[in-house]
Amino acid sequence: MSAFANDSHHDSTTVGRRKFIQTTALVAGAATLFPASLVAGARANDPVLPTKYGKVRGTTQSGVHTFKGIRYGADTSSRRFRPALPPEPWKDTRPALDYGASAPQTGDATRSEDCLFLNVWTPALGDGGKRPILFYIHGGAYSNGSGSSPLTDGTHVCTRGDVVVVSVNHRLNAFGYLYLAPFGGPDYAASGNVGQLDLVMALQWVQDHAAALGGDPNNVTVFGQSGGGAKIATLMAMPAAKGLFHKAWTMSGQQVTAMGHRAATQRAERYLEALHLTPADYKTLTTLPVDALLDATKVPDFSRVEDKSLHFCPVLDSTVLPRHPFYPDATPQSAGIPMVIGNTHDETRAFLGGIPGVHELQWEQLPELITLHQFVDLKADVVIETYRQLYPDYSPTEVFFAATTAGRSWRGAVIEAEERAKQAEAMPDAAATYVYQLDWPSPIRDGKLGASHGMDIPLVFGTTAAPRSPSGDSASARQMADVMSDTLLAFAKTGDPNHAGLPTWTPYTLEKRETMVFDEHSRLENDPRGGERELYSRVPFMQRGTY
């Protein structure tokens, strides 16, 4: 989970406005009507978007029509652990001025089970335009986050590329991924994946409203960071998502394998035990308070002694998810979808950089930390010796961050790229896969962040000046944002990320392992960090929390 992937940070003004609208909605119920006359400051020329459920009123700034908090699904409180229902239609025009509630999660005051909302940025409405649609899925693993972060505001991308941008909230943690099928029967057969089905519902909403948004329903790019990228990998293997998107761009988010039936059942049993319930009492979960359900997620997981809370992720349930996304191969369902797989050079600096003394490590301290944090079963002395041979100038701190990055999420990205490359070799009609590595180091925090997890978010969105941006807003950061946002836009328009601001970027192959290295002077390299890749290929990769 990323320090920057939790998209739940909002300024006090936004939170105050949202609380007012959210509270009003909850008092009146799911079918509450919001007459336009009640919207503070509503103007006759404010944009109005007609949806299949009713009209919503937004705002226009700098030529961008913005709609926040559009309902795409009904309140889920009466559908806990079951697929959501469509919204009830409304008659009057509802305000879409503030982000909707986040899914239930710890540390977010705006949370609610009534959380199925999305946000839209578009240059025009219903003008017959066939603009690419970019659909962003937030990070925060599968347990927290929302589409409401200033870092993922779609205004810049919308104006720079003449595209439609959508971001989304969906159910998380136990509310979205608790596997009750073994106890609850057919009604709960999809319970381990209802968070994913929320995303399918939101993508279907985009299909239904693409023309009204000025977009092309046949050119939808899903993109996401960290948990968002993992959710995209999972969608690529879900039959319900087939045909709803046409390109995929992932940033530091991989899902090679889903959670198996046994592991998901055991976690559900541990979750019930934390609530002093037995599997026979599963229906009691539908009536317990939200806080009680969230507290139960804090029971330690059994995959690692260091895990202080249960792990939630999609479940291989043979219903919603009939196969692993990238095991034993890349899912054939999505062979025709062009894909970008990206990671940052220093992923773990974002969430291991706060360990006391980690920036002043001595060599004798390193083995214990490597063993604890690399997440694969490879002897620490072998890891350290190999890194000292590969990079003689590295300090103990640099070895620690490099090894934990390579042994954790990056390994999954390599496997996904390899399986896609194999698929392209075997299937003449398979789409290309492009791989990147972000090397550009953030200048903030005395450079200690490096190119850490989450650094590509403000660069692709062009939100370097947003509060809490890990990139900072230097001239170098803005230049990187221009390059990376243009790359995303080129890919969304054509399925090919090449543009005039980059060296030629060729698709990933097993022979060369072509990788675009984004930096102040970006370049295409063959197999960067090849020695690290070979080191960690000595041991099996098991995606954390899926066993």
Q: List active site positions.
A: 226, 347, 453
Where does residue 95 fall: left (phi above 0), alpha (psi -120 to 50 degrees), or beta otherwise?
beta
If you search the block for the tokens 């909403």, which residue do you land on?
A: 205
SS3 content of the chain, % helix, strand, coil (to 5): 35, 15, 50
- Residue 250 has φ and ψ, to the nearest 5°, of -115, 145
Residue pointed to by tokens 């697929």? 83
Burial of 393 (0-12, 13-18, 19+ CB in 10 A): exposed
Element (H, E) at 158: helix 155-161
Torsion of the alpha carbons at 109, 115, 117 and 119, rounded to the nearest 10: 20
* Nearest one of 60, 285, 18, 69 to 178, comparing CA atoms: 285
Q: Rg of the chain over CA atoms, in angstroms?
A: 23
C-alpha of 537 from chain center: 26
Return the structure tokens found at 52.
């299949």
Reduced to 3 states (helix: H, G, I; strand: E, B; else coil), residue 355 is coil
**Are the C-beta atoms of residues 399 and 384 closer than 8 Å to each other?**
yes
> H/E/C letters for each residue in 424-472?
HHHCCCCCCEEEEEECCCECCHHHCCECCCCCHHHHHHCCCCCCCCCCC
CA pair distance 412, 339, nearest whole angstrom: 15
Strand partners, 206: none
For the purposes of burial, counting CB atoms within 10 Å of the CB of 520, is it exposed (0-12), middle (13-18) or buried (19 or more)? Answer: exposed
- C-beta of residue 422 within 8 angstroms of C-beta of residue 510: yes
Q: How far apart are CA 384 and CA 301, in angstroms?
A: 28
Residue of 224, 219, 213 lying closest to 243 (CA atoms) = 219
What CA–CA distance (Å, rounded) separates 306 from 119? 37
What is the spatial distance between Cα 462 and Cα 178, in angstroms, rounded to a whole number? 35
Q: Give the separation between CA 102 and CA 108, rounded to whole angstroms.
A: 7
